[in-house]
Amino acid sequence: MRVTVIGSGYVGLVAGACLAETGNDVVCADVDAAKVKRLQGNEIPIYEPGLEPMVARNQADGRLVFTTDVGKAVEHGQVVFIAVGTPPGEDGSADLRHVLTVADTIGRHLNEPKVIVTKSTVPVGTAEKVRAAIRAVTSAPFYLASNPEFLKEGAAIDDFMKPDRVVIGVDTPEARDLLAQLYGPFVRTGNPVLFMDIPSAEVTKYAANAMLATRISFMNQIAKLCELVGADVGSVRKGIGTDRRIGPAFLFPGPGYGGSCFPKDVKALIRTAHEIGMDPDLWEAVEAVNQRQKQVMLAKLTAELAPSLAGRRIGVWGLAFKPETDDMRESPAIELIEGILAAGGQVVAHDPKATDTARQVFGDRVQYARDPYEAVAGADALAIVTEWLVYRNPDLDRVKRGLRTPLIVDGRNLFDPPRMAAAGFRYVSLGRRGQ
């Protein structure tokens, strides 16, 4: 099938590569000429396991092409995906300017009936705005669909190639039939393609992310309760996670959720609710809890190194908002590090993949370590922000020798408190006894 993907950011690039992998003839278009040139040379601007060899393989085989000619790319595709960014505005609403600009371009280059698919994360009602923008410049026939993505950074290839489900909103049999054919190779094991109306598909994306964000904020409040009453959040997590009605996923306390999806989508959902006269009190509480949680590690460090962090050297393990990505958007590490620096402290940070990203955020205000042990050398404390595998079983004797004082503030509960105490550490984690 001839497929066009407009936008070669995280979602568009993964979608284009995976659709090419299943034999489709894919053109990815982007107005960023520098990015397109890098992609044509198989240089991937993001870190995502498995993506670089997939792009290289499909370019070499002629199934994947990158271009800056958006109009020509539109003319190529039987199916045209809109996968451009929808950054949050100051009021939290999704900025649809790029989406609607693409819709206008699509309308001006409709050379045959096509299925136009919104792949970007957009609020309910966006598909109708896309329809209107196309209709404003052409009377040619086209079919509309909404196909939200559910990709986890760090596991996006597996999520696309072996999805839990594919959600597709359509209002014509033509769109349904063509997209059923396109997604058929990805659901051969029986996981469903869920066809529904377009508004329901648009809401499904926000509902999924808001639910996951809610579980994270809920568990962070449970961790706080455990600290105050002397309970252990790990035991509580197991106690509720084994209930089949609840399940174990997203029940780990942490320093707050980040990334490109949860913060933006919760804000956009809140904004949509306000626009239609609905009180989004639950989602506002989820967001408020998360904002407070991002201050927890700084507060614990300050309490342990009282009276202040001035002149203190803090080693930080983890900069990305989660493992297996270099994405630092809304990362808890940003607020932690900015807080340390504002208090007069120094930071030496390590991350397996996000160091270059961090340089764009902090510049030379932070020192960057080549390995985890360099980050702790001469430090007054170690703060663990991201649960990369390389941090899960370190040489604790070497860590202790490197630290000026044997203090670890662990935002991911990676280690067993009795073991850390026996090793001679003051170990501060989340929601455990004696914290």
Alpha carbons within 13 A on the beta-carbon side of 353? 21
Q: At what angle do helices 262-275 and 198-229 cross, to 10 degrees?
A: 110
Q: Are the CB atoms for 29 and 53 separated by under 8 Å?
A: no
Q: Contact 115/123 with Cβ under 8 angstroms? A: no
**Count of CB atoms situated within 10 Å of the CB of 159:** 17
107 class by beta-carbon count within 10 Å (0-12 exposed, 13-18 middle, 19+ buried): buried
Contact between 46 and 329 under an 8 Å Cβ cutoff? The reply is no
Q: What are the angstrom distances between the C-alpha of 249 and each of 237, 245, 308?
A: 10, 12, 37
CB 236 within 8 A of CB 274: no
Cβ proximity of 182 and 24 under 8 Å: yes
Locate tokens 């707050």: which residue?
256
CB atoms inside a 10 Å sphere around CB 131: 17
**261 tagged catalytic:** yes
* Residue 259 zone, left/alpha/beta (φ > 0; ψ -120 to 50; rest): left
Interatomic CA distance for residues 17 and 239, integer angstroms: 41
Which residues participate in catalysis according to the annotation? 261
